Homo-oligomer: A and B are copies of this chain.
Amino acid sequence: MLTQEEVGAAKQRAAAALAEAGIALTPGEHAAIEVADFGLSRLDEIGLELVVYVNTERVCAKELVLFPRQTCPEHRHPPTGGSPGKEETFRCRRGVVYIYTEGDPSPNPACRPPDPESGAFTVWHEIELRPGDQHTVPPNTLHWFQAGDDGAVVSEFSTMSTDELDVFTDSRIARETVVRAT
């Protein structure tokens, strides 16, 4: 659970990161920046800031902001009602982001998970993305990612987002951010 002040401060930080990346938002988009703490109340370590540009039944596009070393926890997008599951392409715009996904584990990964003993980070095939680099994660494939020391801005191009259907390895995770009334 985050306080309104914490959410407001995270929105301002995310907006500043997007502005530094040269990405223009409308005032409405600025106000609607989403702050996801995955229900763990440790936003700086485990969290994600998002601007959703479009999310129709067919296409979704977003900007993701990661604070320095902030981690999006491990999850997959399972098949649902006739669809094979969400397909996502991540394109780094600023900073560095390390994506971990299924495949041969990398011997010397650049990241440590926030909870090494939690068992919630199980895939270790590392893909390093710098500005201009991108990677497509197929449907129903486990992945997690972490920004480098200076944070990252990452564009996501995908099929429809249905966050509530995502399957997280850490069973404590809830995708919906709860803001504490003050």
Binding site for B on A (CB under 8 A): 21-26, 29, 53-54, 56, 58-61, 87, 89, 91-93, 131-134, 136, 155, 157-159
| Cβ–Cβ contact A54 & B136, under 8 A | yes
B29 to A132, Cβ gap below 8 A? yes
The reply to whether B59 and A89 contact each other, CB–CB distance below 8 Å, is yes
Residues of chain B within 8 A of A92, CB atoms compared: 24
Instruction: State A22–B23 Cα separation when bound (angstroms).
Output: 8
Say yes or no: B136 contacts A56, CB within 8 Å.
yes
User: Given A59-B157, A59-B159, are A26 and B133 also a contact pair (CB < 8 Å)?
Assistant: yes
The 14 listed contacts between A and B (C-beta, < 8 Å) are A21-B22, A24-B92, A24-B93, A53-B89, A53-B91, A53-B134, A54-B89, A54-B136, A56-B87, A56-B136, A59-B87, A59-B157, A59-B158, A60-B157
* Nearest B-chain residue to A83, judged by Cβ: B58
Residue from A58, A91, A133, A155 with most neighbouring chain B CB atoms (10 Å): A58
How far, in angstroms, from A136 to B53 measured CA to CA in the complex? 11
- In the complex, what residues of B have CB within 8 A of residue A26's CB? 132-133
Whether the Cβ atoms of B132 and A54 lie closer than 8 Å is no
On whether the beta carbons of A132 and B25 are closer than 8 Å, the reply is yes
Q: How far is the CB of A43 from chain B (nearest CB, A)?
A: 25
Given the complex, which residues of B lie within 8 Å of A59, measured CB to CB?
Answer: 59, 87, 89, 157-159
Query: How many angstroms from the CA of A155 to the CA of B92 in the assembled complex?
Result: 15
Q: How far is the CB of A137 from chain B (nearest CB, A)?
A: 11
